[in-house]
Amino acid sequence: MRALGKATRISKTTVGRYLRLFGVQPHRTKGFKLSNDPFFIEKVREIVGLYLNPPQHALVLSIDEKTQIQGLERTQPLLPMGLGYLEGVTHDYVRHGTTTLFAALDVANGRVIAQRKRRHRHQEFLAFLRHIELRVPERLDVHLILDNYASHKHPRVRAWLARRPRFHLHFTPTYASWLNQVEIWFGQITRQAIRRGSFDSVPDLRAKIERYVEHWNEHPQLFVWTATTESILAKLERLCKFINGTRH
């Protein structure tokens, strides 16, 4: 506000009032990446259709891995927040190693099937698919929404799925992880259990992740998808027009 006030020759208080009035936030940025997938529209229609009109006698699961979750231990205790005080966290920490969290979000009820793994190769993904298979009644088809990570398309994974016709895979377009609802849940667990935590070991990190998952499934939060394919494509069209306009 001081820099803008100096450039416009008005007070920083007036600058701040104008910024709030028009909802302008020059101190913030928002990242984006346009997909270059040649089948972008078809994939969006397919996945949005599963969200808005899920098939009968089937389970729709949004799947992904949260990799390299670090077990960081702060070198000093956290200072609790209070009236007029922010929570105090030391800037330095001790690294105790990492873990990977595999998660499958049931888009119908918000519950999560989760497993912790040391790595995220196709072997671990295949083990997670077997874990899902044991927990889904045989009478139900299983629709899996997932990204294009190489382990999801490994020949051994494809062979396993070929022997189980009730499993159906739906891949998000490239650079379109926002279509995968489990990413919302990963944001929740990051904010509420990982980012502000202090862990004295990897087992401690894993135990706290497990407790979070158990508590979540006792009180699941349903993420209601409202965006239609048409609204998504219209928004992207406006963005592309703006980008093309700035190039001339």
pLDDT score for 78: 84
pLDDT score for 39: 94
Q: How far apart are CA 161 and CA 139, in angstroms?
A: 16
Structural domains of the chain ordered from first start: 1-28 (no CATH), 31-246 (3.30.420.10)
pLDDT score for 77: 87
Mean pLDDT by 10 residues, the chain (248 residues): 90 93 90 88 96 94 95 89 87 92 96 94 96 94 95 96 96 94 96 90 95 96 93 91 73
pLDDT score for 247: 60
pLDDT score for 248: 52
pLDDT score for 240: 86
* Centroid of chain to Cα 96: 24
